[in-house]
Amino acid sequence: MKVLIFKGLGEVSKRDAVLNLKKQYKPEDLIILDGKQTDLAKIKDALTLNSLFSEGDRLIIVENPLESLDLTKIQLEGNLLLVCQNLKVESSLYKSAIKLGAKITSFDGEKEISVFPFLDSLIERKKVAIIELQKLLYEYGGIYVLSMIYYLLRRNLLPLPNSSFMSKKIKKQKGDFLIGDWRSLYKETLSTEFKIKSGAIKEDMGLELLVIKFIER
């Protein structure tokens, strides 16, 4: 079993790394589990069920795994990816992962901290998001802004983070959204990215129009 650990507060770069890894596997060879609701028994059950439908190399992704897990008790053929913010070195999860030769990759969140005022105002439909957008365009560029908007959309569909502060914040922000809202906003973001990259619209204008659509939703 090959064990990979993606950890740190750099959510955008971390999620991009997860997506790039997933692209290397067929859909039937992927298992994604919510670590908050997953113990050893549930992981074993998922592996057993998956083995009935797949004979290829598998990737098991556990989001926000419990630190009490002992990975040495799992008989696994394939690769295991643990995705978390922090991982204490004294935890059973960390110690067992090290015993299995885990490769640990850390993602720095320092750069991403400055984007949160923009994301908060965007999802809360505040006009100040347009001002925050201009700051980010000047400092980081449009591709980074698009990546952060995708992160904003994904984080409202993925399992809540371990941080109680972030969990409460995300729950509050998405309280008046329906699944259809996320689909519509995701579609608008994809459309904006296509128009920018195809040269149909200038980067700053395209992103400003996208922000307005969020605000006026």
pLDDT in tens, 75-89: 766 788 999 888 888
Q: Band of the pLDDT at 60, cuts 50, 70, 90?
A: confident
| pLDDT at position 51 over 60 | no
Predicted confidence at residue 191, as pLDDT, reads: 95
Confidence of residue 203 (pLDDT cuts 50, 70, 90): very high
Q: Which residue has the higher pLDDT, 203 or 74?
A: 203
Predicted model pTM:
0.56
Q: CA-CA distance, 42 to 48, in Å (whole number)?
A: 10
Res 134: pLDDT: 92
Q: Rg of the chain over CA atoms, in angstroms?
A: 19
Scanning the chain, the segments in alpha helix (DSSP H) are: 11-22, 40-51, 92-99, 110-113, 116-123, 128-139, 142-155, 164-173, 179-197, 203-215
Residue 164: helix, strand or coil by DSSP? Answer: helix
Residue 182, pLDDT score? 87
DSSP state, 85?
Answer: S
Query: What 8-state DSSP symbol labels residue 160?
Result: P
Residue 91 φ then ψ, to 5°: -75, 155
Tell me the two tokens of residue 106.
């850390």
What is the Cα–Cα distance from 89 to 60, expressed in whole angstroms? 22
Residue that has been written with the tokens 């400092």 in this structure: 139
How many beta carbons lie within 10 A of that of residue 45, not counting itself? Answer: 12
Most confident of 28-32, 42-46, 207-211: 207-211
Does 20 have pLDDT greater than 80? Answer: yes
Flag whether pLDDT at 129 surpasses 90: yes
Q: How far apart are CA 196 and CA 190, in angstroms?
A: 10
- Return the pLDDT at 168: 83
- d(C-alpha 12, C-alpha 39), whole Å: 27
User: Where on the phi/psi map is residue 57: left (φ > 0), alpha (ψ -120 to 50), or beta?
Assistant: beta
Q: Distances from the Cα of 146 to the Cαs of 98, 123, 162, in angstroms? A: 36, 14, 25
Over residues 133-142, the pLDDT tens digits come to 998 898 888 8
Say yes or no to pLDDT of 73 above 80: yes
Whole-number pLDDT of residue 132? 92
